[in-house]
Amino acid sequence: MKSGNGLLGIVAVVAIVLFFVMTASGPGSRLSNGWSYLTTGSTTLQSGQPQALANGATDYRAMARQDAIDNGIDPDLFERQINQESGFNPKAISPMGAEGIAQIMPSTAKSWNVDPWNPVASLSVAADHMHWYYQHYGNDYSKALSCYNAGTDALDTAMARYGSNWRIGLPAETQRYIALVMGD
């Protein structure tokens, strides 16, 4: 029995040390992710992923900002964009049928290979596509927003027809969307 008690004591000490090391390393660290995987089979606490707020809700704003930074776009603009899209509601559905926190149309979600109801994946893919639009259209976030809201064809047509006054060639909803996000 004495050797059993010694083993139990060692296990308790190791558990306490691990607890303090994980606490010190913080959520999202590799150690914390490893512990999450061992205890739940999930790696959802990866670095850059949302943390729980005091009320238990997920901090999607912080995640959106991190996704923007990771993709080289302005985190303030991306946060305002997602706020305009869904108010950071991962269950939002638009009258036009766009779904989830990033308001992705089902056909677009399919082509982007993302589940629009998964807020983590949706924010990440939205930031990635905004980065592509941003770079493709001369580092112009207004044009990137136009693509996100109305599609690249709408922007290309408006630019071909109206040149530097391209915004007037966009649908009124897209014009308002750009103005709200950009603060115009």
Whether 85 is a known active-site residue: answer yes
Closest to 51 in 3D by CA, of 73, 32, 70, 24: 32
Q: Are 43 and 35 in contact (CB under 8 A)?
A: no
Distances (CA, A) of 46 to 21, 31, 68, 156, 184: 17, 10, 16, 38, 36
Q: 79, 85, 99, 173: which one is catalytic?
A: 85
Q: What is the DSSP string of 110-166?
A: HHHT--TT-HHHHHHHHHHHHHHHHHHTTT-HHHHHHHHHH-HHHHHHHHHHHGGGG
Residue type, 71: N
Taking the C-alpha atoms of residue 127 and residue 147, their distance in angstroms, rounded to an integer, is 13
- Phi, psi at residue 52, to the nearest 5°? -75, 140
Catalytic site positions: 85
